[in-house]
Structure 1
Amino acid sequence: MIARFISRMFRPLLVAGMLLSVLAPASAQLIKPVSSTAAAKPMRFAGNRTYQSYHLSGNELHVKVSDGEISFRPFTTGIVECSWLGMEALQQDTSFAVIMKPEQVTVFVDESPDRLIFDLHEIQVLVEKNPFRISYLRNGSPVLDEEQGFYQRPGQRGVRFSLAETEMIYGTGERANAMNLRGSVYELYNRPHYGYEIGTKNLNYSLPVFVSSKKYMVLVDNPQKANFDIDSKGDGVLDFGAIGGPLRFYLVVAEDFPKLLERYGKLTGTQPLPPRWALGNLQSRMAYRTQTETTAIVDSMIARDFPIDAIIIDYNWFGDSILGHVGRLDWFRKNWPDPDGMIAGFKQKGVKTILITEPYIIDTLENFRSASALNILATDSLGKTYVNRKFYFGDAGLIDMFKPEAGQWFWSKYVAQIDKGVAGWWGDLGEPESHPSDIRHVLGKADEVHNIYAHYWHRMLFDNYRKYYPQTRLFNLNRSGFAGSQRYAIFPWTGDVSRSWGGLQAQLPAMLHMSLSGIPYIHADAGGFAMGVKDEELYRRWLQFAVFSPILRPHGSGIPSEPIFFNDTTQSVVRRFMKLRYELMPYLYNMGWEATVKGQPLVRPLFYYYPEDKRFEAYDGGYFFGGSLLVYPVVQQGQQRMDVPLPRGTWYDFWTGERVRGGATKAIATTLETIPVFVKAGSVIPRVPAVNSTDAYSSRKLFLHCYLHETEGLITGQMYEDDGRNPDALEKDAYELMLFNGIQKPDVIQLGLLRLGDGYAGMPETRQVEVIVYGLSRFPAKADLSNLPLNALSPAEIDSFKQGYWLDESGNCHFRILWAGNPTTLTIH
């Protein structure tokens, strides 16, 4: 291993304030050039770049070459920035994606006649002088090779890498074609695709970041219109090519995928904690047309016992037609005579109001005239307001989101509705949907800034909420953005998907690629959006999938999206699943904590935890929902049987509690009532009684479902709780973090309960905790709580509030205790 060899053989010398290593030429021959593609195809190198010299500035390495300078700046031992400054231009230092400040990393440099090694301790950059090429290693093992590396030619500039023969590539934003992206060219240009299905490569949210099966990520820090050519010619080359912009990328490496995403989160920022209500049922359709209709639907949802936390109102809130009203941004009083009263009435019922906004303004509206006069709309090449004659909703101007004064004008329209009680926002058409290349913004031409337009919109909303509404967590539903947009509290959906089985199938790869790209709350219009017909089976299957998705939001056009408009069987199935989501709210909310603190996606591919299992490298038929639940959606019409590959280890059927041995493919008979869901042995899943709005959420009564190993092993679980509203809960320690950790041995099981954090207003002082243990081979001989004996309860005592334990009809053992938050250990003999 190069890193170990260096640390063992080199003697660091302090030179100009940094650590260097001097190695004699004879010793240098012990380090052999390595290539991740050596066992595959011969590496090809284009261009005539030659090595000239190097120098160090602080802990940054600058390599002078025949066509400029290539620089390497450590951010951590596992993150390095690589950039090229050509002969003709200055490198743009501004990053729209990266917010991390470089850490103080001690570096070592070794030069020999034929190579240069830049060692960050974990990452090593290997520069071979003749022929010139650059490779990257992690702890001495090959990770990534540049092919041509950075390049520039007329109309295009970019960077080219060589891929290993069996390497898989993921990420790059929303891709609905396959789990392994090799073999195609992908646009890096956010654009809608109406009515898309499985097989669609380019969608609303593209990202210049890719993830490798070799456990590294590359963020190409360039927002301009571009393409990722991922080995489309079968030559093993991954080529990022843009129309312009900076030539800079960040390489992130790690020992596993969770650590990789955690590091990427530190580089670009993580999602703030969501408002708890955002994880409930957010009911939507295109479109609620009147106050009377909307109120009736909310009341009917409540009357039929469906959970509902928000109602999302589309374009009809500001007009009576889809055409001619976009940008009006005020209530159409003819159809909404008392919006203040309506919003207040919904709030009393536990239902929040979310409104749509768009960044376009139809040119016949007063808002257009005032915005144009203020010079806050995008312009043509002569500086005049650009009127887009090809915009679907009518001739319109586009707010120049890059102008601070434009953002503040737009923000004033939000304030007027926030003060009425609007709880969240739906930002639509933010790609921007129609963005001709000849539009000019203050920051550049349309194609130069297109991919960061929504990013600026998100930042404007987030910053203003933090400034003017510091006690409120932002909910911003949208469908586009850039790398790093997650730090502005975005909840993106996958665009105008077809209401079809092909549309449902497309959600699995799209959701997984976005999750691996650092966007944790990606989700779909549950039930499908575009075209199609009313299909009871499709709706059931889509809603079952959506309940085990980051956000649950039924939405569609043409056909009602609310479950109350489907038959009784469908209503029963959907109601049960929705209520289950509310029971699992502690588990979901803890996933939100993991996204914020550790940069973890809520949805994770199977290879995330089992990278050694080749069955999962390109598998998108199932996913982890958090770290403990394994979900296999049913996405085929009339499917009566599924063959699901289970990872190694022990698993439990979520619905029946049956223990299943993993490591093989399990044939499952599917029913219309459920989808296959499994729980990993050793997990503790927290649940609470179901409610119909998170306003009524309480964890005073807490159920801990504990799934044992087949013989022995560690038991782990966690539950993060706060008031569900405070944006500063983590910073001010206004939370409780409950840890449920233990160990299982053949003759004894111990489960510890520990609470951390300073707490928050309304926190339960004491909880009635019921631990349900799955997989016990017999009724316990005895049990104690922190060395005090627990009694077995008689059937008559089970419904009381007494502490004790009993066996249910399925053979699972229940242990009921009162817990005041003090360190407590449950021991089962």
Structure 2
Amino acid sequence: MKNIKILFLLLFVSTFLFSQNSKRVLENLKQDGNTITIQVNDGRYLIEFYSSEIVETSFLPKGEVQSNTSHAVVLKPKKTHIIINQLKNKVIYKSDGIEVQIQKEPFKISYFYKGEEVISEKRGYYKSKHNALETVKDNIIAKETEKIEFNLTENEVLYGAGARALGMNRRGNRLALFNRAHYGYETHSALMNFTLPIVISSKKYMLHFDNAPVGYLDLDSKKNNSLTYETISGRKTYQVIVGDSWEKLIENYTQLTGKQPLPPRWALGNFSSRFGYHSQKETEKTIAKFKDEEIPVDAVILDLYWFGKDIQGTMGNLEVYKDSFPDIKRMISNFKEKGVKTVLITEPFILTNSNKWNEAVAKDVLAKDSVGNPAKYDFYFGNTGIVDIYKKEGKDWFWNIYKEILALGVKGLWGDLGEPEVHPTWVQHAIGSANEVHNTYGHDWAKLIFEGYKTDFPNERPFILMRAGYSGSQRFGMIPWSGDVNRSWGGLQSQPEIALQMGMQGLGYMHSDLGGFAGANLNDNLYVRWLQYGVFQPIFRPHAQEDVASEPVFRSDFAKKHAKKAIELRYKLLPYNYNLAFENNQKGTPLMRPIFFEENDDKLMANSETYLWGKDFLITPILKDSLKTKEIYFPKTANWFHFYSDEKIEGGQTKLVKVKQKSIPTYVRGGAFVLMTNVVQTTDNYKGNKLELHYYYDASVKESERTFYNDDGITANAFEKGNYELLKFEAELSKRWLEIDLEAEFGNHWKTSEKEIALVVHNINWNPRKIKIGKKRVKISPQNNTLRLMLKWNPTKELKIKITTK
């Protein structure tokens, strides 16, 4: 009897939870073009098709007025063909992709794609008591919160919610949407600098909650197959985004929220960075050391000592401290001649004892307290106010400071502490309270800089390094990093997950402080493994507290030797990596891609230990000390060749591979073209005319094609201006010949030049009877199963290479 009562109670509870919308009554429903208006007893829904793969739903409770202000969305709705199907208890609005089903009684909204339900509202919109998470109880303050609840299927895996260290599958967590730094984190961090209102499902749909104020994402923490967005205020608007592949899904999302501009090519080089260089003399000696050791370097980053001698009490000065940097302009100019660009840190906090406090008060650029005075409060660096970037005075003042910085010759800007690190709830900005703009502060700070560049430096690509942002921040050229990670194996272990997750959420340049930031742990093996991983992550930037040097030039001979090899490989991969940046710019495709992009298998959905670097590299970082072997799964979609030995491994198997000190396990897809170059000491010396083209011959691949993008590396919107070339390489295998064709396309304003190319064909385990380059026969034998042909190619003409098969 007791069991029967329990079963009845469970059935009652589940039915009650599922049918909360039974009190929501459909009163009227009409369509106007792409928009459907649904009047219900407690408000109205506005459903709008942006395209056949993106639909937006807003709920307006009675008495609320619609707000069209979005921090994220830039796409304008396209005219979408919609077929209406009226049934007895249901109305179906069907596009070529998404269909929206409105169940009349009990009221329910469901979204379908290709005949399958992807997501549906459960309770939909409701209000209830705010249950504050312990970690944010002093930050997110509200008696009740507004919620939107959805149904989940039993087994779907959930990604998203920003940068966190939780494991790839984030289902089962209730997560605060409140950007906050986590100093010294390792393998677990539920709250970090980038919290994004995005959920991605293994069923290949995304939910983006288009609202700025702070709140929560509950990813089925109660284990009742529910997903809930929760906010203190603002819009009850979300977009459902679908796609027939992972790449298409992310392309659709970045079409909605904006594409990442192509960064300057030097951003893909090596950075010299630490917390921090105390003087001009120290900075110059460091760069001289890189040059003496012939370790490539493209940029140097100055932390807060450029404007003050001490960590505390100087923030907000934002002008050169001449006692330490007597002629910074000359230093920057000299670095530039050596191909080294200078990046300066800035923060949005103006201390009350800083050089600029009185000016900031007089010009009314600061956020206010409740009675209209400049808001002042204490934090680690001193007593401070914060720039109100939401009013014209604040924007103009801040951008004028940036113009002064850029006039020094600076080529990159670093925005630190932009969560903002300390942001009391009582602080008032021009457009709302701290909690209404907290999560978008870093996002809008990047926007301020990006738009300033468009106005005053329209031909220059900005480099904007930021520690916090929100959904859509990629369109401002934001380069995010994963915060103050601990200098430990645990710190390293969380980094692939964070970068992969953020790439899926549109921010493709998420990277880590290579070697780790926090703590005084001197571990050369950890350092080497982190830098080896860094070759195959978006930005190569060793950075750390100065207790232990972050720069390879100041490390042991062991660490320096292996770090130099890693950095040189990074530079050899410039043509391949630059093309990844272009793909990201065009389609939003992440540079780092989860392995399940390659093979959609349940067993791979939580795997972040092996990932794809672009389409053709399979990478497995070494994340633990002293490993001798590593178990790796090789996707069944291809055969894979060891990058260093050319050993072939058939796809579709898990294999135990030996781990070597000199490199991490790196494999290339059979049939792939990989474009490389010679090592240069700075990207300024790279012209794209001396190249290595590697083709990984695989008899199972009959046809293969790759395209690589090139431009001058510095001009903003070079592709749109027709200032580019596309190099196309095709391979075709017949019974008698392997034919490789080189072709090119050019923008209207690109002047091409002859290219010297070393064509390296791997896995040639026979001696070809004939080799033809164009019409000319050559006689060259493979060495170690590798055929190397030297080509001179005029890209205005097609060049064919034919190699007889076995």
Match of 1:508 among 492, 496, 513: 496
Q: Is the 8 A contact 1:712 1:745 kept in 2?
A: no
Asked whether 1:50 is paired with 2:25, we answer yes
2:741 matches 1:752: yes
Distance in 2 (alpha carbons) for counterparts of 1:331 and 1:760: 40
Read off the aligned partner of 1:811 and give its amino acid letter.
N
Q: Paired residue for 1:816, among 790, 793, 799? A: 790
Corresponding residue of 2:755: 767
Find out whether 1:379 has 2:353 as its counterpart. no
The 5 A counterparts of 1:647-796 are 647-648=635-636, 649-758=638-747, 764-786=752-774, 788-793=775-780
- C-alpha distance after superposition, 1:596-638 (max 9, x if no partner): 1111111110011211x22211111111111111110000111
For residues 510 and 487 of structure 1, the distance between their equivalents in structure 2, rounded to whole angstroms, comes to 20
Give the 3-state SS of the residue equivalent to 2:661 in structure 1.
Answer: coil
Give the match's secondary structure for 2:576.
Answer: helix
Q: Deviations over 1:742-800 (max 9, x none)?
A: 32234322222221122666x551111222111223122213344x133114xxxxxxx
Specify every segment of 5 or more residues in structure 2 that has no aligned partner in the other structure, as ranges: 1-13, 130-143
Match of 1:123 among 98, 102, 105: 98
SS of alignment partner, residue 357 of structure 2: helix
Separation (CA, whole Å) in 1 of partners of 2:336 and 2:350: 30
Give the letter for the 1:150 counterpart: Y
**Amino acid of the structure 2 residue aligned with 1:314:** D
Q: Does 2:394 match 1:394?
A: no
What CA deviation, in whole Å up to 9, does each residue of 1:374-425 have, x standing for no partner?
2110111111100112x11000110001112211101111111211111101
Q: 1:309 aligns with which of 280, 292, 298?
A: 298
Partner residue, 1:212? 201
Relative distance call for 1:760 and 1:538 in structure 2 (3 A) is farther
What CA distance in whole angstroms lies between the structure 1 residues aligned with 2:294 and 2:65?
62
Task: Compute the displacement of 1:644 (Å).
Answer: 0.7
**Does the Cα contact within 8 Å between 1:170 and 1:513 map onto a contact in 2?**
yes
Whole-angstrom CA distance in 1 between matches of 2:227 and 2:393: 40
| Match for residue 158 of structure 1 among 134, 147, 156 | 147
Q: Which residue of 2 is the match for residue 35 of structure 1?
A: none
Report Cα offsets for 1:691-724 as digits up to 9, x if no partner. 1100111321111111122433321222110000
Preserved CA contact (<8 Å) 1:722 1:759 = no
2:109·2:120 contact (CA, 8 Å) conserved in 1?
Answer: yes
Change (3 A) 1:659 1:699: same
Give the SS at the match of 1:328.
Answer: coil
Aligned to 2:10: none
Residue aligning to 2:121: 146
- Give the distance between the partners of 1:359 and 1:760, measured in 2 at CA: 40
**From 403, 411, 424, the counterpart of 2:399:** 411
Match of 2:537 in 1: 549
CA distance in 2, matches of 1:465, 1:607: 38
Alignment of 1:270-309 (within 5 A): 270-309=259-298
Answer yes or no: is the 8 Å Cα contact 2:598–2:635 preserved in 1. Answer: no
SS of 1:451's equivalent?
A: coil
- Does residue 487 of the first structure (1) align with residue 462 of the second (2)? no
Q: CA RMSD in A?
A: 1.4
SS at match of 2:674: strand
Distance in 2 (CA, whole Å) between partners of 1:363 and 1:424 is 27
Q: Which runs of 4+ in 1 moved over 6 A?
A: none
Match of 1:461 among 415, 437, 449: 449
Do the aligned residues in 2 keep the contact of 1:190 with 1:204 (CA within 8 Å)? yes
Shift of 1:110: 1.4
- Aligned counterparts of 1:258 and 1:656: Cα–Cα separation in 2: 31
CA deviations on 1:313-332 (whole Å, 9 max, x unpaired) are 00000000000110101111
Secondary structure in structure 2 of the residue aligned to 1:545: helix
Q: Paired residue for 1:318, among 291, 307, 313?
A: 307
- Structure 1 SS opposite 2:100: strand
Deviation track 1:93-143 (CA, whole Å, cap 9, x = no partner) reads 111100000111111111122111011121011111111112111121221
Q: For residues 378 and 746 of structure 1, what CA distance do their matches in structure 2 show?
A: 73
Cα displacement (A) at 1:674:
0.8
Q: Distance in 1 between matches of 2:735 and 2:525?
A: 45
Partner AA of 2:792 in structure 1: L
TM-score, normalised on structure 2? Answer: 0.94
Question: Does 55-64 or 584-593 show the bigger shift?
Answer: 55-64
State the one-letter code of the partner of 1:221: D
Further displaced range: 280-289 or 775-784:
775-784
Q: Alpha carbons of 1:733 and 1:764: their partners in 2 closer, same or farther (altered >3 Å)?
A: closer
Structure-1 separation of matches of 2:540 and 2:207 = 31
1:81 alignment partner AA: E
Do the aligned partners of 1:386 and 1:439 also contact (CA within 8 Å) in 2? Answer: yes
Provide the C-alpha distance between the structure 2 equivalents of 1:184 and 1:55, rounded to a whole number of angstroms.
Answer: 38
| 2:121 is equivalent to residue 132 of structure 1 | no
> 1:274–1:489: 8 Å Cα contact kept in structure 2?
yes
Taking the aligned partners of 2:236 and 2:752, their CA distance within structure 1 comes to 53
Q: Write the letter of the residue equivalent to 2:510.
A: I
Amino acid of the structure 2 residue aligned with 1:741: E
Give the secondary structure class of the aligned counterpart of 2:275: coil
Is residue 53 of structure 2 the alignment partner of residue 108 of structure 1? no
1:688–1:698 CA contact under 8 A, matched in 2: no
Superposition pairs for residues 261-276 of structure 1, below 5 Å? 261-276=250-265
Give, in whole Å, the separation in 1 of the partners of 2:578 and 2:295. 20
Which residues in structure 2 correspond to 1:26-45 (within 5 Å)?
44-45=18-19
3-state SS in 1 of match to 2:438:
helix
| 2:212 maps to 1:223 | yes
Partner deviation per Cα, 1:497-518 (whole Å, 9 max, x = no partner) = 0111110011121111111110
Q: What corresponds to 2:139 in structure 1?
A: none
Secondary structure class of the residue paired with 1:573: helix
* AA matched with 1:78: E
Pick closer, same or farther for the CA change 1:569–1:764 going to 2, 3 Å: farther
Counterparts of 1:162 and 1:528, CA distance in 2: 40
Deviation at 1:172, TM superposition (A): 1.7
Q: What residue in structure 1 maps to residue 7 of structure 2?
A: none
More off after superposition, 419-428 vs 147-156: 147-156
For 2:199 and 2:146, the matched residues in 1 are separated by 18
Q: Pick from 784, 793, 801: which aligns with 1:826?
A: 801
For residue 247 of structure 1, what is the aligned residue in structure 2? 236
Structure-1 residue corresponding to 2:132: none
TM-score, length of structure 1 as denominator length: 0.92
Report the 3-state secondary structure (helix = DSSP H, G, I; strand = E; otherwise coil) of the residue aligned with 1:381.
Answer: coil
Residue 87 of structure 2 aligns with an amino acid whose one-letter code is: S
Q: Is the 1:708–1:744 Cα contact (8 Å) retained in structure 2?
A: no
Unaligned runs of 5+ in 1: 1-40, 794-805
Partner amino acid, structure 2, of 1:816 = M
Report deviation, 1:372: 1.1
Aligned to 1:478: 466
Q: Residue 205 of structure 2 contacts residue 241 of structure 2 at CA under 8 Å; is this kept in 1?
A: yes
Return the letter of the residue paired with 2:467.
R
Whole-Å separation in 2 of the counterparts to 1:546 and 1:98: 32
Q: Which residue identity is paired with 2:677?
A: V
- SS in structure 2 at match of 1:579: helix
SS at match of 2:742: strand
CA contact (8 A) 1:736 1:759 kept: no
Letter in 2 for 1:792: K
Identity of aligned residues (%): 36
2:772 counterpart SS class: strand
Partner letter of residue 349 of structure 2?
Answer: Y
- 2: distance between equivalents of 1:532 and 1:137? 53
Q: What residue in structure 2 maps to residue 26 of structure 1?
A: none
Instruction: Tell me how far apart the structure 1 counterparts of residues 749 and 284 of structure 2 sit (CA, whole Å).
Output: 34
AA matched with 2:386: L
Deviation at 1:641, TM superposition (A): 1.2
1:595-674 counterparts in 2 under 5 A? 595-611=584-600, 613-648=601-636, 649-674=638-663
Pick the aligned partner of 1:178 from 160, 164, 167: 167
- Which residue of structure 1 aligns with residue 4 of structure 2? none
